[in-house]
Chains A and B, each alone.
Chain A
Amino acid sequence: MNMKAEPLSSLGCYEEGMDWNPVEKVIFERRSIRSFRKEPLPDGMIRRILEAGRFAPSAGNMQPWRVIVVKSPGILAALERDAVRMAKLFMFFLDYTRGGTLRRLITKPLAKFFIRLLPNELHAVPFGLLSQIAQGKTPVFHGAPTLILLVEDRRGVSCPATDIGICGQNMVLAAHSLGAGACWIGLIKLCLYFPRWRRKFGIRRPYTLNDCLALGWQKPRADGPVPREVQLVEWYDGEIEDAPRIEKQGE
């Protein structure tokens, strides 16, 4: 956090236009941190962050998560290497944004087919990122000294994926409030195409792994507020048959 001496409101009260309270400050200044110091956080601090996850709300209090902390430099390097390998394999067949016309002719229809099959994994944003990773222009795990794998137990109540998100975000906010940095990384999925990583981490029924957190000391400190898109929010606050009033949130 860029700790400027700014006034903060106290917790547990609201007045219109008041300063942020400490919780809001952490929420608004949290940036996904992708540049870390080499040395990991002390174990005590990691445990403190995990504790925030343990007390996250979950459907039916089923806590459908299994947490794996990876600190071993050997494993981290191997994960990075295999993720890059898989990104290169994917992009060899699918990246139509590079290379000549012939390459584009062949790979574009194939890419469009796979984008339809995996629209979330191959959305324009991760597609561009995978292309950069395959070209060796950016790393996958950002050299993070610690990864926290958030394994989901698919037998959870209602929608266990939501619970994983809540649990992880609790940890991320706790980490930032303690002066550390964290980043959600979904590309851990690349490693799971290798059976050896599935075996190693025990990712089989009833477990599934979609996301992990990179965790460490920020280098440089990059937390701070950013502008974001003004959003349209529907307010149903009239009569029962009235159409919603659409308000611009953030304007």
Chain B
Amino acid sequence: MKRETYTLLDRLIIPDYDTPRGIRSGSLLIDPEKCRECGLCVRLCPGGCLYTERVSKNDLINGSAPEGKRGVPRLVATRRGTTLCIACFDCGTACPHGAITIEKNFNPTRYFKRLTQTSEMRYPRRY
């Protein structure tokens, strides 16, 4: 197992924030079978990066969201195809139905490349 290298080129290049080539953003798998469309994850997402057809985070905070089923959440994506998700999993921990899993962790490229974090995600381990 080797650590990632950080080259001079990495240091010089600030990646584009809105393309998957620049930012390998997090992604989530949301199981529509398990999801009861309560909107809790949308409310809790730190960056407001989850939304549904019917509600956004601010609707839920202001109380202007319609009652009843809120719809299955989706990740906000930029026009060039990256999401704002950083795979913090605040949504998944709070989800009462266990409908959310992380598909991919967050890793920018180049200048901001993560060097000692691997892409495997694990729960705290009782050593």
Asked if chains A and B come from one complex, the reply is yes
A interface with B by C-beta (< 8 Å): 16-20, 28, 31-32, 34-35, 96-98, 108, 112, 115-116, 119, 123-125, 127-129, 132, 136-139, 143, 220, 222-233, 246-248, 250-251
Interfacial chain A residues near B108, Cβ < 8 Å: 123-124
A173 to chain B, nearest CB (A): 15
B interface with A by C-beta (< 8 Å): 1-3, 14-18, 22-23, 40, 43-49, 56-58, 61, 76, 78-80, 84, 86, 88-90, 92-94, 102, 105-106, 108, 111-112, 114, 116-127
With A138-B48, A143-B61 already in contact, the answer to whether A96 and B43 are too (CB < 8 A) is no
- Residue from B23, B49, B122 within 8 A of A228 (CB atoms): B122
Complex-state Cα separation, A229 to B125, whole angstroms = 12
A251 and B120 contact, CB distance less than 8 A: yes
Residue of B nearest to A249 (CB): B125
A230 and B90 contact, CB distance less than 8 A: no
Complex-state Cα separation, A108 to B15, whole angstroms = 11
Complex-state Cα separation, A18 to B126, whole angstroms = 7
Complex-state Cα separation, A248 to B127, whole angstroms = 13
Q: What is the count of residue pairs linking A and B with beta-carbon distances less than 8 angstroms?
A: 130
B122 and A230 contact, CB distance less than 8 A: yes
With A112-B14, A246-B2 already in contact, the answer to whether A132 and B49 are too (CB < 8 A) is yes
- Residue from A17, A35, A227, A250 within 8 A of B43 (CB atoms): A35
A246 and B3 contact, CB distance less than 8 A: yes
A124 and B93 contact, CB distance less than 8 A: no
B122 and A115 contact, CB distance less than 8 A: no
- Residue from B17, B57, B61, B102 within 8 A of A128 (CB atoms): B17
Complex-state Cα separation, A225 to B58, whole angstroms = 26
Complex-state Cα separation, A129 to B57, whole angstroms = 13
Extra 4 A-B pairs, beta carbons < 8 Å, given A128-B17, A229-B119: A97-B80, A98-B78, A124-B112, A227-B89
Complex-state Cα separation, A32 to B40, whole angstroms = 15
Interfacial chain B residues near A16, Cβ < 8 Å: 127
Interfacial chain B residues near A233, Cβ < 8 Å: 116
A250 and B122 contact, CB distance less than 8 A: yes
B10 to chain A, nearest CB (A): 13
A137 and B56 contact, CB distance less than 8 A: yes
A97 and B111 contact, CB distance less than 8 A: no
Complex-state Cα separation, A228 to B116, whole angstroms = 12
Interfacial chain A residues near B125, Cβ < 8 Å: 250-251
With A138-B48, A224-B94 already in contact, the answer to whether A229 and B40 are too (CB < 8 A) is no
- Residue from A112, A115, A226 within 8 A of B93 (CB atoms): A226
